[in-house]
A and B are shown apart, each in its own frame.
Chain A
Amino acid sequence: MHDPIRNGLAAGWKHIDAATLLKGQTVEADVVIVGTGAGGGVTADLLSDAGLRVVLVEEGPLRSSTDFKMREADAYPELYQESAARKTADKAINILQGRCVGGSTTVNWTSSFRTPPAVFEFWQRQFGLRQLSVESMSSWFAVMEHKLWVRPWETPPNPNNKVLLTGAEKLGIPTGAIKRNVKGCWNLGYCGMGCPTNAKQSMLLTTIPAALNRGATLYTRLRAERLRFTGGRVSALDCVALQADGIHPAGKRVQLRARHFVIAGGAIGSPALLMRSGVPDPHRLLGKRTFLHPVVISSALMPGRVDAYAGAPQTIYSDHFLHQAPIDGPLGFKLETPPLHPVLYSTTLQGFGEAHVELMREFTRVNVLLALLRDGFHPESRGGQVRLGSDGLPVLDYPLGDVIWEAARRALLAMAEIQFAAGAQWVTPVHETAPGYSTWAEARKGIAELPLQPFLCRVVSAHVMGGCGMADAPQRGVVDHRGRHFWLDNLSVHDGSIFPTSLGANPQLSIYALVARSASLLAAELSGRPRPLIP
Chain B
Amino acid sequence: MMFSRRQFIKTGLAGSLLLSLCGWLNAAGARRLSAGEREMLTALCGALLAGALPGDTEERRRLLALTVDGIATEISGLSLASQKEIGELFGLLVLAPGRLVLAGVSKPWREATVGEVSGFLQSWRSSRLALLQGAYGALHDLTFGAWYARPDTWEAIAYPGPPRGYF
Q: A residues 212-265 with Cβ under 8 Å of B? A: 245, 247-248
Give the complex CA separation of A535 and B134 in angstroms: 48
From B6-14, B60-68, B78-86, B100-108, give the one contacting chain A. B78-86
CB pair A347–B144 under 8 Å, yes or no, is yes
CB pair A361–B148 under 8 Å, yes or no, is no
Which residue of the partner chain B has the closest CB to A248? B80
CB pair A352–B74 under 8 Å, yes or no, is no
Q: Is A319 an interface residue (CB 8 A)?
A: no
Q: Specify which of A85, A92, A342 is in contact with B154 (CB 8 Å cutoff).
A: A342
Give the complex CA separation of A1 and B167 in angstroms: 6
Give the complex CA separation of A90 and B159 in angstroms: 33
Q: A83-B77, A346-B144, A391-B81 are in contact. Are A360 and B157 (CB under 8 A)?
A: yes
Give the complex CA separation of A151 and B166 in angstroms: 25
From A64-72, A163-171, A409-417, give the one contacting chain B. A64-72
CB pair B74–A83 under 8 Å, yes or no, is yes
Q: Is B149 an interface residue (CB 8 A)?
A: yes
Q: Specify which of B74, B153, B159 is in contact with A309 (CB 8 Å cutoff).
A: B159
Q: Specify which of A92, A94, A363 is in contact with B130 (CB 8 Å cutoff).
A: A92
Hey, what's the 0/1 contact readout for A342-385 against B, CB within 8 Å counting as 1? Answer: 11011101001110111011011000000000000000000000
CB pair A353–B47 under 8 Å, yes or no, is yes
Hey, what's the 0/1 contact readout for B17-57 against A, CB within 8 Å counting as 1? Answer: 00000000000000000000000000000011111100000
Q: A residues 73-91 with Cβ under 8 Å of B? A: 73, 76-77, 82-83, 85, 87, 90-91
Give the complex CA separation of A367 and B129 in angstroms: 32
Which residue of the partner chain A has the closest CB to B82? A82
Q: Is B133 an interface residue (CB 8 A)?
A: yes
Total chain A interface residues with beta-carbon distance under 8 A: 49
Q: What B residues does A83 contact at CB under 8 A? A: 74, 77-78
Q: Which of A1, A72, A188, A247 has the most CB of B within 10 A?
A: A247
Q: Specify which of B134, B140, B158 is in contact with A352 (CB 8 Å cutoff).
A: B140
CB pair A393–B167 under 8 Å, yes or no, is no
Q: Is B138 an interface residue (CB 8 A)?
A: yes
CB pair B48–A85 under 8 Å, yes or no, is no
Q: A196-B167, A363-B158, A454-B130 are in contact. Are A352 and B48 (CB under 8 A)?
A: yes
CB pair B130–A346 under 8 Å, yes or no, is no
Q: B residues 130-167 with Cβ under 8 Å of A? A: 130, 133-134, 137-138, 140-141, 143-145, 147-150, 153-154, 156-159, 162-163, 166-167
CB pair A432–B81 under 8 Å, yes or no, is no
Q: Is B16 an interface residue (CB 8 A)?
A: no
Q: What B residues does A361 contact at CB under 8 A? A: 156-158
A312 to chain B, nearest CB (A): 14
Give the complex CA separation of A247 and B143 in angstroms: 22
Q: Is B121 an interface residue (CB 8 A)?
A: yes
Q: A247-B80, A342-B154 are in contact. Are A357 and B52 (CB under 8 A)?
A: yes
- Besides A69-B162, A347-B140, 16 more A-B contacts (Cβ < 8 Å) are A77-B73, A85-B141, A343-B148, A343-B149, A345-B148, A352-B121, A353-B48, A353-B118, A360-B52, A361-B156, A361-B157, A361-B158, A363-B157, A432-B125, A454-B130, A455-B133
**17 residue pairs bridging A and B, Cβ less than 8 Å apart:** A72-B148, A73-B149, A76-B77, A90-B130, A91-B137, A343-B145, A343-B148, A352-B47, A352-B143, A353-B48, A364-B157, A364-B159, A390-B81, A391-B81, A393-B81, A432-B125, A454-B133
Interface set of B (CB-CB < 8 Å, partner A): 47-52, 73-74, 76-82, 118, 121, 125-126, 130, 133-134, 137-138, 140-141, 143-145, 147-150, 153-154, 156-159, 162-163, 166-167
